[in-house]
Amino acid sequence: MTTIVAVRKDNQIAIAADSQTTFGDDQKLPASYDRFHNKIFRHGDSYLAISGSAAHDLVLQSALKKLKNKDFSSRQGIFETFRKLHPKLKEAFFLRPEEEDDDPYESSQMIVVIANPHGIFGVYPMREIYEFSRFWSIGSGHDYAMGAMYAAYEQNLTAAEIAEIGVRAGCEFDASSSLPMSLYTIELATEAKG
């Protein structure tokens, strides 16, 4: 799994992630053995990071390149983007959308954090979209990261420093997360500052 965090503080947003890939319960691929260990990718002015199967990374990057009229500037825009993306994931990339029999919708099988000048957004498997006002974390190390960022948020620290604390906590205590980390910062757009 992973530890992925995003933090919004003052006029900045930071997104950070660990670098370990885990196969099943007993094998890991540390960054020193993986030429492409960065779990965060850039698409336009947005940074995206995914929790779930490692296959999602290349699939989502490829699918987004082919999708026209993407909008990552709001909850509604992201919802419409992922709604249009879902059938393409099934048709062109062979996504298996089944989870539980009583689920109300087909699953996209991934959790995505998006950080951009408009804010921090979370996309969940049934295309639930959330906008986070302070910080958030996904992946197997998220409990540790959330606790650490909660304890650090009111201190005199930047968004990047708080994000680093979150990922380090995840890497310290979660068996499926390890350093080094990738970290990016973004300035909030004027309309998002209010």
pLDDT at 191 over 80: no
pLDDT at 96 over 90: no
Can you read off the two tokens belonging to residue 74? 């709001």
Q: Is the peptide bond before 87 cis (omega within 30 degrees of 0)?
A: no
pLDDT at 194 over 70: no
Give the pLDDT confidence score for residue 107 in this predicted structure: 79
Tell me how far the alpha carbon of residue 19 is from its chain's centroid.
13
Dist CA 120 CA 46 (whole Å) = 10
Structural domains of the chain, with CATH? 4-24+38-99+106-187 (3.60.20.10)
Dist CA 167 CA 46 (whole Å) = 20
Phi, psi of 155 (to 5 degrees): -75, 170
Give 87-92's long-range contacts (Cβ < 8 A, gap of 24+): 88/63, 89/59, 89/63, 92/63, 92/66
